[in-house]
Structure 1
Amino acid sequence: MIDLRRLHVLRAVAHYGTVTAAARALHFTPSAASQQIRQLARDLDVDLLEPQGRGVRLSPAAESLLAHADAIQARWEQAELDLRADRGAPAGLLRVTGFPVAISVLLAPMAARLGARHPRLTVRILETEVPKSFDLLFEGATDLAIVEATPRNPPLGDARFDQRPLLDDPFDLVVPKGHPLAGRERAGLEEAAREPWIAPVPESPCRPHVMSACGAAGFTPDVVHHALDWNVTAHLVAHGLGVALIPRLAQLSPHLPITRVRCTGNPHRKLLTCTRGGGHARPAVEAALRELRELAPTAVA
């Protein structure tokens, strides 16, 4: 009989990449986490970890076991749903996470609507960046996240997570008022190829989108300033320090002397909803997803 607690430790090692990181997330000591995996290996009479340099890696047997472990976790989620299927309307606690723009434009109004329609449901919102949302879902510390699609995310086929398209968020070219492109309804990015640019910081998930959009327009932007917050970017543009691509969902300070210009070619980023595998069918999550689908079309109008 497999001890599911030990199996969860193995899943955590696969998710976080090392025994030490998994132990930290599970509030174990590294030696205790290692002991759990060694005992699981003895129970199954297979090797689950192999030496790799100064560390370890998962063995082929462990990789095979993990495919079953992810399916077991999804079935367990479904079993809990089946047990609660006769309890009626959404109730209890719903924990949601998202990055700042997603909270401002989508999760905050979603929570307000749910509160009005389902008085027995309590929504708790946590602001966090995309990689942390996946960690929180894996740990069972959140139920629903809005994430931005990036190459660093788990693949869409990863059984641990259920990722579904929510909306495409277009990027607008933002220029100072009085700029030659400011009076245009739409412009090609190549028309701003010789401008100084303000871009997201290198670790931002939006950075690849901005660089790819400029590359598709045939140039590499001359990035002279970097910013993390979209309103910081907008202030730099307002002072004539460069131009920028900013997602349409980002709500910029209305008093700034800047103009949004829609881009030909429609550069955009994709926003997804994400739950644990099997978690989307929970009544509270279903209700939240329904509200988000209603909000999404008007959010980027």
Structure 2
Amino acid sequence: MIDLRRLKVLRAVAHYGTITAAARAMHFTTSAASQQIRQLGRELGVALLEPHGRNVRLTEAAHTLLTHADAIEARWEQAETDLRAAKDEPAGLLRLCSMPTAVSRLLAPVVAPLTTKYPKLKIQLREVEQQQAFDLLFSGEADLAVIEVTPANPPRTDARFDQRPLTDDVFDLVVPAAHPQAAAEVVDLADFATADWIISSVACTCREHTLAACGAAGFTPHIAHDALEWNAIGHLIAHGLGVALVPRLAYLAPHLPVKRLHLANPPTRKLLTTTRGGGYTNPAIAAAHDALSDVAA
């Protein structure tokens, strides 16, 4: 009989990349986590760890076992839902997480309607960075996340997570209200090749979208100012200090003298709802997903 607790340690090592990181996340010592995996290997009669330089890594047998472990976790998720469900009505604590713009524009609007419709449901929101959302889902500390599609995400075929399309968030070019092209209905990004740009120097997806869009338009933007938070970017633009690509979900105060201009070929970021494998069978998660889809539409 497989010890499911040891199987969780094995899954954690695969998720976090090293035994040390997995042990830290599970509040184990590194040696205790290694011992759990070795004991699991002895129970199954296979080696799950092998030397790799000065460290160890998972064997092919471990990766084969992980395929089944992820399926077991998804079935267990569904079993817990089936056992706790009361007439399929959403109830209990539902933990939602996402990046700041999605928390404010997508998650926050669904809380009151859902808890009013389902009095036994309690919802908790958490603002997190992208990778942290996957870690929280994996560890069971979050139930549903809104995430952006990036190359660093687990593939859609990863059985640990169920990722479903939510919406495409289009980027607009935001300029000062006094800009000569502020009255245009649609603009070409190439016309702003010599403009001063406001772009974060911190590695983030919006920076990547901006640089890629400018590159596709045939120029490298002159970065005049460095800002990350949308409120700060909006104020810099309002004072005539530059232009920026801003996703439509990002809130800019209506009193600011700025104008959102639609682009002929705008970049977009694709947003997904994500839960653990089997999670959408949970009535509360399913209800939240449906509510998010309505808000996103």
TM-score normalised by L of structure 2: 0.96
Q: 2:260 is aligned with what amino acid?
A: R
1:25-63, Cα deviation, whole Å (9 max, x unpaired): 101111111111111121122221222233222211111
C-alpha root-mean-square deviation of aligned residues, in Å? 1.3
Corresponding residue number in structure 1 for 2:76: 76
Shift, 1:104, TM fit: 0.7
Q: 1:42 is aligned with what amino acid?
A: R
Which moved further from structure 2: 162-171 or 222-231? 222-231
1:117-157, Cα deviation, whole Å (9 max, x unpaired): 11110001111111100000000011101111111111111
Q: 2:295 is aligned with what amino acid?
A: L
Shift, 1:223, TM fit: 2.0
In structure 1, what is the Cα distance between the partners aligned to 2:169 and 2:141?
27
Which moved further from structure 2: 95-104 or 40-49? 40-49
Corresponding residue number in structure 2 for 1:261: 261
Corresponding residue number in structure 2 for 1:101: 101
Question: Tell me, what secondary structure is at the counterpart of 2:226?
Answer: strand
Contact 2:199/2:223 (8 A) holds in 1: yes
In structure 1, what is the Cα distance between the partners aligned to 2:181 and 2:62?
57
Shift, 1:108, TM fit: 0.7
Contact 2:199/2:225 (8 A) holds in 1: yes
Q: 2:211 is aligned with what amino acid?
A: M
Corresponding residue number in structure 2 for 1:228: 228
Q: 1:230 is aligned with what amino acid?
A: W
Tell me, yes or no, if structure 1 residue 280 matches structure 2 residue 280. Answer: yes
Q: 1:132 is aligned with what amino acid?
A: Q
In structure 1, what is the Cα distance between the partners aligned to 2:52 and 2:203?
28
Q: 2:14 is aligned with what amino acid?
A: A
Tell me, yes or no, if structure 1 residue 207 matches structure 2 residue 196. Answer: no
In structure 1, what is the Cα distance between the partners aligned to 2:84 and 2:146?
25
Corresponding residue number in structure 2 for 1:65: 65
Question: Tell me, what secondary structure is at the counterpart of 1:181?
Answer: coil
Distance 1:37 1:175, change over 3 A: same
Any runs of at least 4 consecutive aligned residues in structure 1 with deviations exceeding 4 A, and if so which? none
Which moved further from structure 2: 188-197 or 85-94? 85-94
Which moved further from structure 2: 45-54 or 160-169? 45-54
How many residues are paired up?
A: 297
Question: Which runs of no fewer than 5 residues in structure 2 stay unpaired?
Answer: none
Question: Tell me, what secondary structure is at the counterpart of 2:157?
Answer: coil
Shift, 1:116, TM fit: 1.3
In structure 2, what is the Cα distance between the partners aligned to 1:58 and 1:218?
45
Corresponding residue number in structure 1 for 2:53: 53
Tell me, yes or no, if structure 1 residue 162 matches structure 2 residue 162. Answer: yes
In structure 1, what is the Cα distance between the partners aligned to 2:196 and 2:279?
45
Identity of aligned residues (%): 61
TM-score normalised by L of structure 1: 0.95
In structure 1, what is the Cα distance between the partners aligned to 2:223 and 2:50?
44
Question: Tell me, what secondary structure is at the counterpart of 2:266?
Answer: coil
Q: 2:214 is aligned with what amino acid?
A: C
Corresponding residue number in structure 1 for 2:152: 152
Shift, 1:85, TM fit: 4.5
Contact 2:202/2:228 (8 A) holds in 1: no
Shift, 1:115, TM fit: 1.3
In structure 1, what is the Cα distance between the partners aligned to 2:294 and 2:279?
20
Shift, 1:86, TM fit: 4.7
Which moved further from structure 2: 198-207 or 79-88? 79-88
Question: Tell me, what secondary structure is at the counterpart of 2:199?
Answer: strand
In structure 2, what is the Cα distance between the partners aligned to 1:200 and 1:269?
17
1:90-109, Cα deviation, whole Å (9 max, x unpaired): 11111110111111111111
